[in-house]
Amino acid sequence: MRRKASQLSDSDARDILQNGVWGTLATVDADGQPYAIPLNYVLVNNVIYIHSAHEGHKIDNLKENPKVSFAVVGFEEMMADKFDTRYRSAVLFGTARVVENPQEKQAALEALMNKYSAAFHDEAIEYIRKNSDKTTVAAIEIVHVTGKEGK
pLDDT in tens, 45-64: 999 999 999 999 999 999 99
The more confident residue out of 3 and 87 is: 87
What was the pLDDT predicted at 65? 96
Cα–Cα distance, 66 to 13 (Å, whole number) = 22
What was the pLDDT predicted at 2? 59
pTM above 0.75, yes or no: yes
The residue extents of the domains of the chain are: 4-150
Instruction: For residue 121, give every residue at least 6 positions away whose Cβ sits within 8 Å of its Cβ, in sequence order, or none.
Output: 113, 114
pLDDT in tens, 107-142: 999 999 999 999 999 998 999 999 889 999 999 999
Instruction: For residue 93, give every residue at least 6 positions away whose Cβ sits within 8 Å of its Cβ, in sequence order, or none.
Output: 67, 68, 69, 142, 143, 144, 145
Instruction: For residue 127, give every residue at least 6 positions away whose Cβ sits within 8 Å of its Cβ, in sequence order, or none.
Output: 113
Class of domain 4-150: mainly beta
